[in-house]
Chains A and B, each alone.
Chain A
Amino acid sequence: GAVVSQHPSRVICKSGTSVKIECRSLDFQATTMFWYRQFPKQSLMLMATSNEGSKATYEQGVEKDKFLINHASLTLSTLTVTSAHPEDSSFYICSAPSGGDEQYFGPGTRLTVT
């Protein structure tokens, strides 16, 4: 299957700081990528759609000014959590399609805000 990577795998930051998470498609190009969030013992929830060459679209209830998304190239999307707070601590996962209908997911980034 297609390979999606994320960096970093884990990050700890202080409350009020910003954190950038990268999502890369390693062996295919993706004009669209998706960002999900997963809280402990819960399932994945879609946060936003990252579009190469245009603005990201956000799901209802997700603050676009807090979760900045930039689709810099056909293989890279970044999610920046601005002014992070402890309630933003979560597992952030990106996905991308590689040509079929299925999504391929990255390994996830564990964010802990202290």
Chain B
Amino acid sequence: EDQVTQSPEALRLQEGESSSLNCSYTVSGLRGLFWYRQDPGKGPEFLFTLYSAGEEKEKERLKATLTKKESFLHITAPKPEDSATYLCAVPGTTDSWGKLQFGAGTQVVVTP
């Protein structure tokens, strides 16, 4: 059975303190992996799609990387506005990219 596991569950950072979030997966024939950001009471906001091992994507203070077994989301010099829950997800079936299986998320709090 496909599984997506995120760690840590929660992360408290000082402003400027860089860190990484982990998303490990056991999916046969991974077609892609998504990272989303979710603020409390809102829907997920798309961040990145990664398709193959070795691929990297960057956006502002965020950088996502992918290996054959896991993905990392690096937050460099975070600011309080980076506080959110970060979710990774994989497409669960071969016939649709929209049927996503999500990890439980990492709740990030960045304090000034």
Q: Which residues of A contact B (CB under 8 A)?
A: 1, 4, 6, 32-34, 42-46, 49, 91, 93, 95-97, 100-108, 110
Contact = CB atoms under 8 A, between A and B. Distances in A.
Give the dominant DSSP class at A's interface. Answer: strand
Contact of A103 (B42, B92, B97, B104): B97
B100 A108 contact: no
A83 B88 CA distance: 33
21 contacts: A43-B87, A43-B104, A44-B87, A44-B102, A46-B92, A49-B98, A49-B99, A91-B41, A95-B43, A97-B98, A102-B34, A102-B97, A103-B46, A103-B98, A103-B100, A104-B46, A105-B44, A105-B46, A106-B43, A108-B41, A108-B43
A34 B98 contact: yes
A101 B32 contact: yes
Give the dominant DSSP class at B's interface. Answer: strand
B43 A105 contact: yes
Given A93-B43, A101-B32, A102-B34, A46 B49 contact: no
